[in-house]
């Protein structure tokens, strides 16, 4: 209680300070007067009496200072006093303030922007009810690599697990990435669709904004002609019609009743589609084919109180049970689960990229801090006398330290405010640049409390970092020499300039590391990009076509349609050739396992795998992939002739090390009976990249379309000139064959490749931006420190010149001093950068790039910047007029 | 050196408060110089501390509400600030006196010569 009372009265004493100060002065005066009176009475002289009284008091000012410490709240008062003083200093040196604040603002802005992006991804709440209890159940295999360990599940396993598990209150299945044709409304159109079991929306806990979600029975065969609309699809196709529920649309030739519209922001992972249909599964299908059709994504709602660990261990039991019961199809497979949120992060597979980006901006901030520390250190040198005086007249060293730290915090505060302003623009820019990605487009990237607290934390940390050097310096001030010596000293001496040398070296080291890291990533991107695709993407037009089952169920009809289409496309004016393919080149065809003749008893899990394509006769000619040996497919490879296959060089190198692939027999595993027959390798073609940025080629195998037709295919047409000019002709050709046939995304090959490479390109560009920022900041930092040192040494230089040193000697001396530091820093930076290629290789999938010439170029670049940064002050030094320099002071 | 000074002052400040309160009880309202003189006289030469250290202690006691102050005139007509005990100060003094006596009694028993404890 007493303490509270005392504290309250101290708070009260914060006000009316002048009056209290006067009153205490008066009290001390009266004290002295009383004492002097006494002394006089004892017979001392006036001077003696006064002197004795003051001595006995212990000094007037000291007493006052002690008294002040007890009055009011000195800590707070001192803080405000320091703040005012700091603000005044900053105000009086606008140049210094501007440079320091801007430098820090750049560093803070880079960090805040990247962090807001990372935190938006890591902390996004999936748009579902009680998301912590929504789990994603997936299959795992022994395979390595991103995404490889998170696999969709087969229908038989779905039914078994749904029945046998003890941890979920319900389990739902989703089959994404299918497409259906929409007809009877404007032009026929291919639209994306997801199929989900009737309980899907109740499991994830999402209600439609209009109408109802799927209900029990909607996923029973014969009752499944209902459809839920995506919000944007509803806007686009129905003009946001509020009475859409109950209307019908024609999908795949059958009327479906619209039962509801999903919320605007409803998207989970990359599963956004225009319509949602019921998923009809047949539990009686338990054969090997059904077990190998793994297309389902399972979503569970865990029972209350069930932990993730319990759910995972229950699933492991179920997984091993499946292996025991069905060794043929389940061996080597297991199952597990993650919460939806963790799964989304896992699915994004960008953790390594996050770490790299955050480290890069961290380095930028460190360099910015080093710059500011340099500036403050330079100022501290010129303020040495001020500090010495402060200490001499009674300020404790801790007090001086506190004042310097307050100044640093003030700079940090201004820098953070400016930096957050920049970051506001930065996040918007980044969001715009990244919005080619649907999932990122949905993200809420903003400066929220997480970003604010992160930014404040790094700002305070920065202030401590750059405030440290000048503070240490003030701590070590020697009062007497500093006051006595004035500044007539000739040069600072080694010890004084050690801090600055350290800063220069550190800045160079950090810049070298950042530049090398960014360089390696960019080099990797360019190497991936410029490695030959294995085909000519220019002048290629592509399109997706899926024939509806209602009209084209028989393989013969599919062959008829596509052969006729290819012929009509080739006949178009401006087209040289056209072909049909199951997957476009460099668009990530899937892997398929196969058997070599003589190895029939290999279990499915041990069989060799290759990327698998089905292509029509003129495919290789159209994409202009070169033939190495044998022949490619021809019209003569019909449904009834000898089954054949074409493979790539890599395929031969991997599976026929002797190079004797031609004429050998292989059998590709497929659920489709037509395809599972032995086929002869008749030709070898040049490797075609499976993704545009791949560093290494995968083995690939091709089957002729006529021997393995399918309904869903892609079209490639080679144009003489502009591929896009063929687009109307392509549409006309399709519709001349079938008026109701929708056409999916007509796009030319270079654009398609561009979409694929965009994320890596942006990642590289971001790294480039940060690297350049680091280089510029480091350059400015070196310049500032060297220029300051030269200024400090102008008298020494003046003496040298007076004693006969030539201009070029002076120039060389200053240059060499600066460059020596840069060289030391560069060497340290190289040591730090040396393990980077291996680090990236471990962190990033499918990335192996060596530093190579980067380890020469980066130090050379830094050297050039350092040279420039030292040259300007060095030239100034060489022009020092000894008369002026020595007369000065 | 700074540390030692601070330590000494802490002990001083603690007992000083008690001495101030006791002085004000014995002498009635008194100014800072008077209090300092009185403490010095009572303690003999043992307390050779600067008078100045008295003022923060007075301020602390006033903040805690144990003493109050007002300006008045001294015997030889000098203006001076007079301190006097408040009611809370009197209570606090009683309490601290008791505590002090207890402490010294305990210490005395420890320090008494020839009395070995079994």
Question: Minimal Cα–Cα distance from A353 to chain B, Å?
Answer: 52
Burial B77-111 (b: 16+ CB within 10 A, else e): ebebbbbebbeebeebbeebeeeeeeeeeeeeeee
Check CB contact under 8 Å for B59 and A71: yes
Lookup: tokens for A835: 């393990």
Contact A763, A521 (CB under 8 A): yes
Residue A183 confidence (pLDDT): 83
Check CB contact under 8 Å for A58 and B51: yes
Lookup: tokens for A287: 């054969």
Say how many CA atoms lie within 13 Å of A306 toward its Cβ.
24
Lookup: tokens for A594: 């196969």
Check CB contact under 8 Å for A69 and B33: no
Q: Closest chain B residue to A2 measured between Cα atoms?
A: B64
Most confident listed range (A97-101, A117-121, A419-423, A554-558)? A419-423
- Which of A149-163, A556-570, A834-848 is predicted with the least confidence, judged by mean pLDDT? A834-848
Of B34, B55, B64, nearest to A5 by CB-CB distance is B64
How many secondary structure helices (H) and strands (E) does chain B include? 4, 3
Look-up: residue for tokens 């290494």? Answer: A696
Residue A888 confidence (pLDDT): 55
Q: CA-to-CA distance for A729 and A717, rounded, in angstroms?
A: 11
The residues on A that touch B, with CB distances below 8 Å, are 2, 5-6, 9-10, 23-24, 26-28, 30-31, 33-35, 37-38, 56-59, 62-63, 66-67, 69-71, 396
Of A6, A26, A28, nearest to B64 by CB-CB distance is A6
Determine the average pLDDT of the residues in A653-662. Answer: 88
The confidence band for A441, taking pLDDT boundaries of 50, 70 and 90, is: low
Check CB contact under 8 Å for B50 and A58: yes
Lookup: tokens for B16: 């000083």
Q: CA-to-CA distance for A156 and A172, rounded, in angstroms?
A: 13
- Which of A77-81, A131-135, B108-112 is predicted with the least confidence, judged by mean pLDDT? A77-81
The helix/strand/coil state of A294 is strand
For chain A, the distance separating the N- and C-terminal CA atoms, rounded to the nearest angstrom, is 60
Most confident listed range (A275-279, A357-361, A597-601)? A275-279
CB-CB neighbours of A12 under 10 Å:
11
Phi, psi of A222 (to 5 degrees): 95, -20
Question: Minimal Cα–Cα distance from A451 to chain B, Å?
Answer: 43
pLDDT in tens, A503-557: 888 888 988 888 888 888 888 878 777 777 888 888 999 998 888 877 888 888 9
Going by C-beta distance under 8 Å and a sequence separation of 6 or more, which residues neighbour residue A692? A528, A529, A533, A586, A753, A756, A757
Q: Tens-of-pLDDT digits for all 118 residues of chain B?
A: 334 444 444 556 678 888 889 999 998 899 988 888 888 888 766 556 678 888 888 888 888 889 999 998 888 788 899 999 999 999 999 998 898 888 888 888 888 775 555 4
Return the sign of the alpha-carbon dihedral for residues A653, A657, A661, A665.
negative
Return the sign of the alpha-carbon dihedral for residues A828, A831, A832, A836.
positive
Phi, psi of A189 (to 5 degrees): -145, 145
Residue numbers in A near B81 (CB within 8 A): 23, 26-27, 30
Contact A614, A708 (CB under 8 A): yes
The confidence band for A747, taking pLDDT boundaries of 50, 70 and 90, is: confident
CB-CB neighbours of A225 under 10 Å:
14
Burial A446-457 (b: 16+ CB within 10 A, else e): ebeebbeebbee
Contact A780, A371 (CB under 8 A): yes
Closest-CA residue to A228 (of A265, A203, A198, A190):
A198
pLDDT in tens, A170-216: 999 998 878 788 887 777 888 888 999 999 999 988 889 999 999 88
Residue numbers in A near B74 (CB within 8 A): 34
Identify the helix (H) or strand (E) that includes residue A682. Answer: strand A679-685
The confidence band for A490, taking pLDDT boundaries of 50, 70 and 90, is: very low
Phi, psi of A444 (to 5 degrees): -95, 90
Residue A833 confidence (pLDDT): 87
The confidence band for A646, taking pLDDT boundaries of 50, 70 and 90, is: very high
The helix/strand/coil state of A222 is coil
Determine the average pLDDT of the residues in A682-692. Answer: 87
Q: Closest chain B residue to A63 measured between Cα atoms?
A: B52
Determine the average pLDDT of the residues in A465-490. Answer: 69
Determine the average pLDDT of the residues in A786-808. Answer: 81
Question: Minimal Cα–Cα distance from A16 to chain B, Å?
Answer: 16
pLDDT at A159 over 90: yes
pLDDT at A881 over 80: no
- Which of A631-645, A715-729, A786-800 is predicted with the least confidence, judged by mean pLDDT? A786-800
Which is more confident, A731 or A694? A731
Contact A361, A110 (CB under 8 A): yes
Contact A709, A553 (CB under 8 A): no
Residue numbers in B near A36 (CB within 8 A): none
> For residue A673, what are the CA distances in angstroms to A105, A281, A677?
65, 21, 8
Determine the average pLDDT of the residues in A650-655. Answer: 91
Pairing of strands A168-183, A294-302: antiparallel
> For residue A49, what are the CA distances in angstroms to B48, B73, B79?
18, 21, 19
Check CB contact under 8 Å for A63 and B52: yes
The confidence band for A148, taking pLDDT boundaries of 50, 70 and 90, is: very low
Q: Closest chain B residue to A33 measured between Cα atoms?
A: B78
The confidence band for A94, taking pLDDT boundaries of 50, 70 and 90, is: confident
Residue B87 confidence (pLDDT): 92
CB-CB neighbours of A57 under 10 Å:
23
Contact A301, A134 (CB under 8 A): yes
pLDDT at A803 over 80: yes
Percent of chain A at pLDDT > 90 equals 22
Which is more confident, A14 or A462? A462
Going by C-beta distance under 8 Å and a sequence separation of 6 or more, which residues neighbour residue A352? A843, A844
Give all strands (DSSP E) within B1-118, no chain letters: 30-31, 67-73, 79-85
CB-CB neighbours of A59 under 10 Å:
14
Check CB contact under 8 Å for A6 and B63: yes
Contact A582, A615 (CB under 8 A): yes
Q: Closest chain B residue to A396 measured between Cα atoms?
A: B2
Question: Minimal Cα–Cα distance from A396 to chain B, Å?
Answer: 10
The confidence band for A607, taking pLDDT boundaries of 50, 70 and 90, is: confident
pLDDT in tens, A11-51: 777 677 778 888 888 888 888 888 898 888 888 888 998 89
Residue B6 confidence (pLDDT): 44
> For all residues of chain A together, what is the average pLDDT?
83
Rg (CA), chain A: 38
Query: Could you write out the DSSP letters of every residue in A2-17?
Result: HHHHHHHHHHHTTSSH
The dotted CATH code for B2-111 is 1.10.10.10
Count CB pairs under 8 A between chains A and B.
Answer: 74
Contacts 24+ apart (CB under 8 A), A399-404: A399/A78, A400/A474, A400/A475, A401/A471, A401/A474, A401/A475, A402/A78, A402/A79, A402/A82, A403/A82, A403/A85, A403/A86, A404/A380, A404/A467, A404/A470, A404/A471, A404/A474
Going by C-beta distance under 8 Å and a sequence separation of 6 or more, which residues neighbour residue A639? A555, A556, A559, A706, A707
Of B55, B65, B81, nearest to A5 by CB-CB distance is B65
Of B34, B56, B79, nearest to A70 by CB-CB distance is B56
Lookup: tokens for B65: 């509400």
Question: Minimal Cα–Cα distance from A6 to chain B, Å?
Answer: 5
Determine the average pLDDT of the residues in A731-750. Answer: 86
pLDDT at A233 over 60: yes
CA angle A48, A49, A53 (to 5 degrees): 115
Residue A290 confidence (pLDDT): 83
Residue B4 confidence (pLDDT): 42
Q: CA-to-CA distance for A847 and A696, rounded, in angstroms?
A: 9
Q: CA-to-CA distance for A134 and A152, rounded, in angstroms?
A: 17
Residue A845 confidence (pLDDT): 61
Alpha carbon dihedral A596, A600, A604, A605, in 10-degree steps, equals -70
Look-up: residue for tokens 């998301």? Answer: A131
The residues on B that touch A, with CB distances below 8 Å, are 2, 31-34, 37, 50-53, 55-56, 59-60, 62-65, 74, 76, 78-81
Residue numbers in B near A62 (CB within 8 A): 52
Residue A377 confidence (pLDDT): 81
Burial A818-837 (b: 16+ CB within 10 A, else e): bbebbbbbbebbbebbeebb
Going by C-beta distance under 8 Å and a sequence separation of 6 or more, which residues neighbour residue A491? A792, A793, A795, A796
Residue A269 confidence (pLDDT): 65
Check CB contact under 8 Å for A70 and B51: no
Determine the average pLDDT of the residues in A462-469. Answer: 86
Where exactly are the structural domains of chain B? 2-111
The confidence band for A277, taking pLDDT boundaries of 50, 70 and 90, is: very high
pLDDT in tens, A755-777: 777 777 788 888 888 888 888 88
**B59, B78, B91: best to mutate for the A interface, most A CBs within 10 A:** B59
Residue A520 confidence (pLDDT): 85
Residue A552 confidence (pLDDT): 86
For chain B, the distance separating the N- and C-terminal CA atoms, rounded to the nearest angstrom, is 42
Residue B12 confidence (pLDDT): 63
Residue numbers in A near B32 (CB within 8 A): 27, 31
Going by C-beta distance under 8 Å and a sequence separation of 6 or more, which residues neighbour residue A247? A238, A241, A257, A258
Contact A451, A121 (CB under 8 A): no
Residue numbers in B near A59 (CB within 8 A): 50, 52
């Amino acid at each position: 209680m007493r303490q509270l009372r005392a504290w309250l009265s101290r708070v009260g004493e914060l006000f009316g300070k002048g009056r209290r100060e006067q009153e205490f002065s008066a009290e001390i005066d009266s004290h002295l007067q009383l004492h002097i009176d006494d002394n006089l009475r004892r017979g001392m002289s006036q001077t003696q009496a006064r002197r004795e009284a003051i001595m006995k008091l212990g000094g007037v000012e000291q007493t006052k200072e002690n008294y002040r410490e007890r009055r009011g709240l000195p800590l707070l008062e001192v803080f405000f006093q320091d703040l005012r003083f700091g603000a005044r200093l900053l105000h009086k040196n606008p140049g210094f303030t501007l440079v320091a604040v801007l430098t820090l603002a750049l560093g803070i802005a880079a960090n805040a922007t990247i962090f807001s992006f990372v935190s938006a991804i890591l902390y996004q709440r999936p748009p579902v009810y009680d998301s912590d209890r929504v789990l994603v159940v997936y299959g795992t295999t022994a395979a390595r690599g991103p995404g490889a360990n998170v696999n969709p599940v087969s229908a038989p396993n779905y039914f078994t697990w749904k029945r046998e598990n003890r941890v979920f209150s319900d389990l739902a299945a989703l089959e994404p990435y299918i497409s259906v044709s929409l007809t009877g409304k404007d032009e026929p159109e291919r639209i994306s669709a997801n199929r989900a079991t009737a309980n899907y929306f109740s499991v994830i806990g999402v209600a439609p904004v209009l109408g109802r979600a799927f209900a029990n029975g909607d996923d029973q065969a014969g009752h499944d002609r209902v459809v839920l609309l995506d919000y944007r699809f509803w806007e686009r196709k129905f003009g946001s019609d509020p009475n859409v529920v109950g209307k019908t649309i024609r999908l795949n030739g059958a009327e479906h009743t619209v039962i509801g519209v999903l919320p605007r922001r409803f998207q989970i992972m990359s599963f956004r589609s225009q319509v949602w249909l019921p998923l009809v599964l047949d539990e009686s299908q338990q054969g090997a084919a059904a077990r190998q059709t793994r297309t389902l994504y399972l979503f569970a709602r865990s029972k209350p109180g069930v932990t993730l660990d319990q759910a995972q261990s229950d699933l492991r039991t179920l997984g091993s049970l499946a292996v025991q019961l069905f060794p043929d199809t389940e061996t080597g497979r297991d199952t597990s689960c993650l919460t939806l949120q963790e799964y989304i992060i896992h699915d994004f597979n960008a953790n390594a990229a996050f770490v790299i980006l955050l480290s890069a901006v961290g380095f930028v901030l460190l360099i910015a801090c080093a710059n500011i520390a340099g500036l403050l250190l330079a100022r501290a040198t010129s303020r040495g006398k001020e500090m010495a005086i402060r200490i001499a007249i009674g300020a404790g060293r801790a007090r001086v330290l506190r004042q310097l730290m307050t100044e640093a915090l003030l700079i940090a505060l201004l820098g953070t405010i400016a930096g957050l302003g920049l970051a506001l623009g930065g996040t918007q820019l980044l969001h715009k640049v990244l919005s080619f990605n649907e999932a990122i487009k949905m993200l809420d990237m903003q400066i929220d409390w997480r970003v604010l607290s992160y930014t404040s934390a790094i700002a305070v940390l920065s202030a401590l970092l750059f405030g440290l050097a000048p503070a240490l310096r003030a701590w070590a001030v020697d009062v007497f020499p500093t006051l006595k010596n004035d500044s007539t000293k000739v040069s600072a001496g080694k010890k004084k300039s050690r801090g600055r040398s350290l800063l220069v070296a550190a800045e160079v080291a950090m810049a070298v590391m950042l530049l090398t890291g960014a360089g390696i990533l960019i080099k990797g991107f360019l190497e991936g990009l410029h490695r030959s695709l294995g085909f000519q993407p220019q002048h290629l037009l592509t399109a997706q076509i899926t024939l509806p089952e209602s009209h084209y169920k028989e393989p013969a009809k599919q062959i008829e349609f596509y052969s006729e289409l290819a012929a009509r496309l080739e006949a178009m004016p401006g087209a040289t050739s056209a072909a049909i393919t199951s997957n476009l080149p460099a668009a990530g065809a899937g892997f398929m396992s196969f058997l070599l003749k003589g190895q029939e008893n290999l279990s499915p899990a041990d069989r060799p795998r290759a990327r698998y394509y089905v292509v029509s006769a003129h495919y290789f000619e159209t994409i202009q992939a070169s033939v190495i040996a044998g022949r490619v497919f021809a019209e003569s490879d019909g449904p009834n002739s000898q089954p054949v296959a074409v493979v790539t060089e890599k395929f031969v190198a991997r599976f026929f090390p002797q190079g004797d692939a031609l004429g050998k027999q292989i059998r590709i595993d497929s659920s489709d009976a037509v395809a599972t027959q032995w086929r002869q390798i008749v030709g070898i073609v040049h490797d075609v990249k499976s993704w545009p940025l791949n560093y290494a080629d995968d083995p690939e195998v091709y089957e002729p379309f006529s021997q393995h037709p399918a309904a869903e295919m892609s079209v490639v047409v080679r144009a003489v000139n502009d591929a896009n000019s063929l687009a109307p002709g392509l549409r006309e050709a399709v519709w001349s064959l079938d008026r109701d046939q929708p056409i999916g995304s007509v796009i030319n090959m270079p654009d398609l490749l561009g979409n694929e490479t965009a994320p890596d390109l942006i990642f590289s560009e971001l790294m480039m931006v940060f690297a350049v920022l680091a280089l510029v900041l480091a350059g400015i930092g070196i310049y500032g420190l060297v220029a300051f040192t030269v200024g400090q040494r102008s008298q020494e230089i003046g003496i040298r010149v007076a004693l006969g040193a030539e201009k070029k000697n002076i120039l060389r001396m200053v240059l060499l001093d600066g460059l020596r530091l840069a060289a030391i820093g560069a060497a340290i930076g190289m040591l730090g950068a040396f393990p980077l290629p291996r680090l990236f290789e471990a962190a990033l999938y499918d990335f192996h790039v060596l530093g190579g010439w980067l380890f020469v170029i980066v130090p050379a670049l830094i050297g050039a910047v350092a040279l420039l940064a030292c040259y300007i002050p060095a030239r100034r030094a060489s022009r020092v007029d000894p008369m002026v320099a020595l007369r000065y002071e | 050196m700074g540390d030692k000074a601070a330590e000494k002052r802490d002990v001083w400040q603690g007992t000083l408060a008690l001495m101030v309160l006791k002085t004000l009880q014995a002498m009635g309202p008194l100014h800072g110089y008077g209090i300092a003189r009185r403490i010095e006289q009572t303690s003999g030469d043992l307390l050779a501390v600067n008078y100045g250290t008295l003022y923060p202690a007075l301020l602390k006691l006033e903040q805690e509400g144990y003493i109050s102050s007002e300006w008045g005139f001294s015997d030889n007509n000098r203006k001076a600030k007079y301190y006097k005990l408040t009611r809370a100060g009197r209570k606090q003094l009683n309490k601290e006196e008791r505590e002090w006596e207890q402490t010294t009694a305990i210490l005395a028993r420890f320090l008494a010569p020839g009395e070995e404890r079994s």
